[in-house]
A = this chain, B = another copy of it.
Amino acid sequence: MEYELYYWPGIQGRGEFIRLALEDTGVPYDDVGRRSEADGGGVAAIERLLEEPGHHLTPLGPPVLRHGDVVIAHTAAILQYIAPRIGLVSRDEGSRLRAHQIQLTVADLVAEAHQVHHPVAASLYYEDQKEEAARCARAFVRERIPKFLGYFDRALDSNRSGAGKWLVGAECSYADLSLFQIMAGLRYAFPRAMRKHELRFPRLCAVHDAVAARPRLAAYLASRRRIPFNEHGIFRHYPELDPPSRAAGSPKRPARAAKARRKV
């Protein structure tokens, strides 16, 4: 029974976390949105799935995975479903719970990364909310990126069998693949800010590199199947949101630190 992934064809987006898991394990899958519409794929196929009445819980949007009669939406739920089946997490409840919590934290980070360029409304263009986005980006870069990276770094510590190299258990799991994607995406979107933040988190850079070097993933990342980051996805590079640190974005300027303390 094949895995069918329904996701927008032109972006990595949330679907990429699922693509990485399937590519890393070499499990055959049908990336339906990237097949031609003449071949029954494309955006038309996604829209048909979202409008199918009554047969299943109709998702609000992709990614959606279809596996036989099972139709699942939400990236974290999809990964939770497929990972034990394709060997990307141990089957014991503790490992599965741990990986799922990490993936839900990834989902929170993804939502906040999207909010940076769409603080007012997802239905408006970035150009219609640029001023708000500039304010949002400053806070995201200064407060949220280090907070999330600190979480993943502590997760390495608390995984007793991971030797500081993996997030769940003694082997690479889908949580590590997702951390790779987060690091890659943040570097693409905020290269200046990340050069500074990364200095504090060398082990997260090591996870990124170890995942990128896995043979099947290395082949995938070098292939045309890996869609380049672009300004339609989650991680977008707008230079004005990642300015030189004297202008903005440095996590250490005293004026900003004072402002951050105002949180209730």
Residues on A close to B: CB < 8 A?
Answer: 53-60, 70, 72-74, 76-77, 81, 94, 97-98, 100-102, 104-105, 108, 111, 115, 119-125, 129, 132, 135-136, 139-140, 143, 147-148, 151, 154-155, 157-158, 232, 259-260, 262-264
Residues of B within 8 A of A157 (CB): 53-54
Residues of B within 8 A of A97 (CB): 70, 72, 77, 81
Can you tell how many copies of this chain the complex includes? Answer: 2
Query: Are A132 and B119 in touch, CB under 8 angstroms?
Result: yes
A108 to B111, CA, bound (A): 9
A37 to B54, CA, bound (A): 50
A135 to B132, CA, bound (A): 10
Query: Are A104 and B132 in touch, CB under 8 angstroms?
Result: no
Of A57, A132, A264, most buried by chain B (CB within 10 Å of CB) is A57
Query: Are A74 and B101 in touch, CB under 8 angstroms?
Result: yes
Query: Are B262 and A123 in touch, CB under 8 angstroms?
Result: yes
